[in-house]
Amino acid sequence: MTIHLAIDIGGTFTDLVLDCHGQRFTAKVLTTTARPVDGLMEGVQIILQQAAIDASAIQLVVHGTTLATNALIERKGAKTALITTAGHPDTLEMGFENRFDQYNIQADRRAPLVESALRFEVAERVNFRGEVLQTIDEDSLAAVVTQLQSHDISSVAVGLLHAYANPDHERRIATTLGAMMPHLSISLSSDVCPEIREYERQSTTVANAYVRPMMKGYLDDLDARLDAAGFTCPCLLMTSAGSLVTIETATRFPIRLVESGPAGGAILASHMANRLQEPKLVSFDMGGTTAKICLIDDGKPLLSREFEIDRAHRFIKGSGTPLKIPVIEMVEIGAGGGSVARVDALDRIRVGPDSAGSMPGPACYGRGGDQATVTDANLVLGRLAADNFAGGSMVLDLRASQQVLSDHIGTPLALDPVDAAKGLVEVVDENMASAARVHAAERGMTLEGRTMIAFGGGAPLHASRVADKLGIDRIIIPADAGVGSAVGFLLAPVAYEVVRSRYLRLDDIRESSLPELFDQMQTEAESVVRMAQPEGRISIERHCFARYVGQGHEIKITLPAGNLDTRSANVIRQAFETEYRATFGLLVPGIAIEVLTWSLTAIGSDTGINEAMSPDASAGTIPADHPHGDDLKADSAAGTRRISDPGAPTDLPYVIMARGQLASDIVGPAAIEEAQTTTIIPAGWRATLNASRDLVLDRSTSAQDTPADSGLSRAVKLQVLWDRLISVVEEQAQAIIRTAFSTSVREAGDLSAGIFDPGGQMLAQAVTGTPGHVNAMAASVEFFLQRYPADVMQPGDVYVTNDPWMGTGHLFDFTVVTPVFHKQRLVGLFASTVHVVDIGGIGFSPDSGQVFEEGLCIPIMPMFSDGKANENLFDIVRANVREPEQVVGDMYALASSNDVGARRLLGLLRDAGMDDLDDLGAHIISTSRRAMAEAIGTLPQGSFENSMTVDGYDKPVELCARLQITKDRIIVDYEGTSPTSPYGINVPLTYARAYTSFGIRCIVGHDVPNNAGSLQPIEVNAPAGSILNAPRPCAVNVRHVIGQMLPDVVLGCLGKAVPGQVPAEGSSSLWNPMLSGSHGVIGGLSYGEATPFAVTIFHSGGVGARPGKHGLSATAFPSGVRNTSVEVTEAIAPLLYQQKRYRTGSGGDGQWRGGDGQIIEIAHREGAPFAVFALFDRIEHPARGRDGGADGQPGEAMLSDGRKLRGKGKQIVPAGLSLIMKLPGGGGLG
């Protein structure tokens, strides 16, 4: 028998659970933020007194805390410095060089944890194989030590390039720092995160260093206080991966403690799955602010190595700091009891992510809250008892809830308070269900048939409706769900994961050094586990992260036991193909499989705790009027109450009782009221208690079927479906990124994805991607339908083109269209576009004179017919491009992503009982068109002109625009713009329209979803024969160089219509040259035995200053792409980034400064010459300031010997020299 204590410190409460020989005691106290250990020890004393035992009787303390998470969010960590490889001090701040919200020009990330003045450089260099190219320069290291000493630094992160492959230089730095500054806390990236991709590794290491001194102080304090209180047992810490480590390990790697609380809930659900023999489960945790969803298969939660924290916009992906740590994979959305609801400009109910919190809280709390929340809606629907909330500790104000629902939802939508509440609850339930669908689909999993475990104060209220939406027939509400995470802590294993990056093709596995690598990893992992578990069995799990050669995102594969050999390779290949097919639909034939990362986890023996402990007592020191009080009041007497259900056409009388009154099965409608929550059991569900006092809900087979949305207004039904359609195309885009081969797609996100109605009108686009592709693709689908009308399309057909005038503007972009059939009728079309690495011809260069020189042009034709590949097409592609595996792989990625979207669309139609998208599509288009017209109507009517001169190729190009604003339309005419160029910088009209529309949408109606309706009020014309309406066969290879200037042109027009509301000009056009080296590419020079390569890199200059804000430095605008990783580029091409840093001061001065550009220097790693296909602009004509702001500095391209390069055209970097690019800055404002 055992006596174990679990302690979970949260932001508001500290929960404690004591298992004493199978009997459970619980306590909940307020967290003492100033010194968390004080509240912890208060709770310890309460629970020890409750159980009548001494501290010395406790055999194990298990602890989880949000302190590391809170320190990162609240910026209350140590003064931290970062040491980097010389030439690369700004990686941490540049991040991915992208914007997380394309149409919101005011969106900002939070500042990096280490400011530029505390980022120091040491001269050294290794390559991706770990080979030393330059030993550490001791003088530069000594200079860094001196600087650190002068800045009173308490913690240092060391993040050198390719340290994952060779940690020696980082360890040398640590040795020197330890000798010179023994007080210093030191975190090495080769220890914290030994994986490729420099930004993510640095951000993880810096976060670890930032919280490490604080966490060490806290853990030392905790250790001393427990010792003083008489504890003699070990204290283990819960990690984000759901495993336990010692205080020593937690002190070294505190970043692994983030999200430990939610991990405890997932562990509880996992153990319940095993105990109840539920092989497939989804855990649903909903509290006051957020909801978290986790998938659990065969008793194990999904694990990931990627996580994002400290988001500027909490629930917008990409707005935070990426961490690469072992973490239980779950999705979090802003849906909790306090989530605030409102009606947007499109008359849609929006819920969250902001929350009313506990002060003032929902309006019904009577504390001055004046916004409609989820709790207010549940009260109005009768799902909560006004006089028995939180165990009767407070009385809720029904009239206040009715009033705010009427004010914020009902009046704008002409609904009474009850219907407004139904709509609010339905939207929040759909948000949670949609997040669960996308989360599952991204991993090739389904939700139908799973069992749901629901805990937290809000989940039991919403579980049955969410289950309806997900096709789930069983729900389990555990006993003591309010302290579920702490209960989960007691069930967690002692475990530790070690990860190493080592490149290996699967075919070479037998001759590899993997046995030695895994021996080292196992020794390290077991040594950590033995610190917590000196005796007992340790099991080992090994995994690899595999992908097709050339892809950038991996699939986790379980490795077979024993030494890895040819037979093992076959097992891994079969597992990879099974997982890949389940996730993406189509395998890619003829391409090898490679592994970059290997992991090993050592797992200690079971703790011996059974989560089915018998509840005995609880205690607490929470004020009686606290809204989240957990006092266990006397059970309420059984009665009835009328409850309105969004899924039912009429109100029904619900039987109301407490869990303890449930002596036998009860058939809904009913509600089980407890101090911590209320469980809703609708008609068609049956509830019972199992032996562990878990409440089990099963869908009744005898229940009469009811339309899933019969209790909702038509407007709410359509909104829910619209939101779900947007989530479908976002999933489609994520599938492209995960399966793509070209770095431009998988690293930079140069892609688009969308769904269209059978007539070719765009209904939804993915947020992920670049706007030029999407808006151009909107016109492209119509060309597909002209060539292959709907009546000739068949199931299994997939169509493709890269025709610049029928696609997205140049041959490098492949557009793939897939028709979707439902009940033997065409219901929609999925389209997607990517930029491939090569298309033959002249390469990615502006030197072409006609499109025929630019590469292979594929007219609109079948890529698959009746599910069978057009092998003739693929043979032609392979024979005409330099990188056939990557290009064909990307074509398959497009088809796979469309297939993912099609499957999700069919699920939507099935769940909604719809035969087609006709009504929904009409609603989307008309609503969006109306919203845009209303936004345009707020602008002053009239004509506004602007012109801008850009570099061009051989001579400057004039871009002239006249923007006319009417009461409901904006018309842009480019009359006066320069004629076509004899070089490849011309722009097809579809691409000019795409970026013109985008520039307008950044200011006008930026919150209206992009679709045919929101685009229709914008008309764009350019004279035939102008550079913005170039006819075939004009050369258009690098059309983006001119096309991406157009937002600045039309923003200049809008700046005259609405002064002070638009940004200054920025660098605009990406600097994304193709670099190539091989025989015949470098003219008459010898390439010798050097490694041939071709790679396109993506980097950005400065954005213009914004109204009230400085411009963003080294950030893509208007493009939505990310940069390409230095380490990844160096791993796939024989290149060496000698420097990549901000070009400080290159942004224009003004009241608001323009964003700075950057300096990039690249050499051939093997000393050979190479070609650069230059397509640079803003060299002769820099970004202009606005309203008195200064111009940004112009760009420069040169060789390392000082010779200038042209901004356009193929040029050779001689052997032994390097390419230097100085990217332009943005203009100043005011």
Torsions phi, psi for 1080 (to 5 deg): 90, -20
Label residue 705 by pLDDT band (50, 70, 90).
very low
Closest to 80 measured CA to CA, from 7, 185, 236, 173: 185
Residue that the structure tokens 């009359």 belong to: 975
For the domain spanning 72-236, the CATH number is 3.40.50
In the block, tokens 């097409």 appear at: 873
Q: Once rounded to an integer, what is the mean pLDDT over residues 1010-1033? A: 96
For the segment 1104-1121, the average pLDDT, to the nearest whole number, is 93
**pLDDT score recorded for residue 390:** 65
Question: 774 falls in which pLDDT band (50, 70, 90)?
Answer: low
Query: Tokens 């970062």 sit at which residue?
Result: 82
Rounded to whole angstroms, the Cα distance separating 1158 from 1146 reads 8
Tokens standing for 207? 């976060």
Task: Give residue-wise pLDDT tens across range 47-93.
Answer: 999 999 999 999 999 999 888 888 888 888 999 999 999 999 999 99
Q: What's the pLDDT at 630?
A: 34
Cβ neighbours of 610 (radius 10 Å): 15
- Distances in Å between the alpha carbon of 184 and those of 78, 425, 437, 745? 11, 52, 46, 41
Structure tokens at 710: 């019969």
**pLDDT of 612:** 47
Is the per-residue pLDDT at 1091 higher than 90?
yes
pLDDT of the residue at 500: 84
Mean pLDDT of 631-647: 60
In the block, residue with structure tokens 């819920």 = 351
Reduced to 3 states, what is the DSSP secondary structure of residue 300? strand
Q: Where does the chain hold its CATH 3.40.50 domain(s)?
A: 72-236
Q: Are 541 and 243 in contact (CB under 8 A)?
A: no
Residue 410's pLDDT is: 93
Helices (H) and strands (E) in the chain, counts: 28, 55
Task: Report which of 123, 124, 136, 192 is spatially closest to residue 164, judged by C-alpha positions.
Answer: 192
Query: In this predicted structure, what is the pLDDT of residue 621?
Result: 35
The whole-number pLDDT of residue 613 equals: 46
Query: Is-contact 459 286, C-beta < 8 A?
Result: yes
What are the pLDDT digits (tens) for 351-362? 887 778 767 888
State the DSSP string of 587-627.
Answer: --TT--EEEEEEEEEEEEPP----S-PEEEEEEE---TT-T
Give residue 314's pLDDT: 52
Q: What would the pLDDT profile of 1060-1076 be if each residue is shown by its tens digit?
A: 999 999 999 999 998 99
pLDDT, mean of residues 530-554: 83
Tell me the HSE value of 1057 on the side-chain side, using a 13 A CA sphere: 25
| Among 284, 277, 275, CA closest to 612 | 275
The upper half-sphere exposure of residue 1184, i.e. CA atoms within 13 Å in the direction of its Cβ, equals 14
Alpha carbon separation from 743 to 655, 1122, 1139 (Å, rounded): 59, 10, 20
Alpha-carbon span 501 to 597, nearest angstrom:
4
Q: Give me the mean pLDDT over the 774-787 stretch.
A: 87
Q: What is the largest CA-CA distance in the chain?
A: 93
pLDDT per residue as tens digits for the range 957-968: 999 999 999 999
149-153, 825-829, 1116-1120 — which one is most confidently predicted on average?
825-829
Domain with CATH 3.30.450 in the chain: 714-921
Question: For residue 1136, which phi and psi values (nearest 5 degrees)?
Answer: -140, 115
**Residue 635 pLDDT:** 37
User: Per-residue pLDDT for 623 more than 50?
Assistant: no
Enumerate residues 6+ apart whose C-beta is below 8 A from 1208. 846, 847, 951, 952, 953, 983, 985, 1038, 1041, 1174, 1175, 1176
pLDDT band at 188 (very low <50, low <70, confident <90, very high): very high
* pLDDT at residue 793 tops 90: yes
pLDDT grade for 710, boundaries at 50, 70 and 90: low
Q: Dig out the tokens for 670 from the structure.
A: 């009913």
899 vs 774 pLDDT, higher one? 899
- For residue 49, the tally of other CB atoms under 10 A from its CB is 12
**The pLDDT value given to residue 296:** 92
Q: CA-CA distance, 315 to 1058, in Å (whole number)?
A: 31
* Angle at 162 (CA atoms; ends 157, 167), nearest 5 degrees: 65
- Residue 296's contacts (CB-CB under 8 Å, 6 or more residues apart) are 266, 269, 270, 273, 280, 281, 282, 283, 302
As a whole number, mean pLDDT of residues 469-487 equals 84
Mean pLDDT, the chain, as a whole number? 88
Give the pLDDT mean for 1118-1145: 92
- What average pLDDT score do residues 812-818 get? 96
- When pLDDT is cut at 50, 70 and 90, the band that residue 709 belongs to is low
Question: Starting at the edge strand that comes first in sequence, how are the strands of the sheet with 555-558 ordered?
Answer: 495-505, 593-604, 538-548, 555-558
Classified by CATH at the fold level, domain 714-921 comes out as Beta-Lactamase (3.30.450)
| Selected residue with higher pLDDT from 981 and 129 | 981
| DSSP, residue by residue, 499-549 | EEEEEEEGGGGGGSSHHHHHHHHHHHHHHHHHHH-SSS-EEEEEEEEEEET
pLDDT of 1179 higher than 90: yes
Q: pLDDT band at residue 606, thresholds of 50, 70 and 90?
A: low
Q: What's the confidence (pLDDT) of residue 104?
A: 87
**Mean local confidence (pLDDT), 454-470:** 88
The larger pLDDT score, comparing residue 629 to residue 1085, is at 1085
- Confidence at residue 511, expressed as pLDDT on a 0 to 100 scale: 66
What mean pLDDT is predicted for residues 409-419? 92
Cis peptide before 649 (omega within 30 of 0): no
φ, ψ for residue 1157 (rounded to 5)?
A: -85, -160
Angstrom distance (rounded) from CA 815 to CA 796: 17
Say what the pLDDT of residue 12 is. Answer: 62
Provide the residue count of the chain: 1230
| Percentage of the chain lying above the pLDDT 70 cut | 92
Split at pLDDT 50, 70, 90, the class of 441 is low
pLDDT of 615 strictly over 70: no
How many C-beta atoms lie closer than 10 Å to residue 875's C-beta? 12
1051, pLDDT greater than 80: yes
CA 302 → CA 439, 440, 776, distances in Å?
11, 10, 38
The pair of three-digit structure tokens given for residue 1042, joined into one six-digit string: 């001119």
pLDDT of residue 714: 82
What value does the mean pLDDT take over residues 420-431?
91
Note the pLDDT tens digit of each residue in 83-114: 999 999 999 999 999 888 888 888 888 899 99
Q: What does the pLDDT read at residue 611?
A: 47
Q: In whole angstroms, what is the distance from residue 40 CA to residue 15 CA?
A: 9
Q: Which of 319-333, 643-657, 683-697 has the lowest mean pLDDT?
A: 643-657
> Hey, is 958 helix, strand or coil?
strand
- Classify strands 1196-1199 and 1093-1096 as parallel, antiparallel or unpaired: unpaired
Give me the helix-helix angle, 989-1001 and 771-787, nearest 10°: 140
What confidence category does residue 636 fall into, taking pLDDT thresholds of 50, 70 and 90? very low
Most confident range, picked from 490-494, 690-694, 883-887, 1160-1164: 1160-1164
Q: Give the mean model confidence (pLDDT) for residues 698-709.
A: 56
> What's the pLDDT at 631?
30
- 335, pLDDT greater than 50: yes
Q: Prior bond to 1118 cis, omega within 30?
A: yes
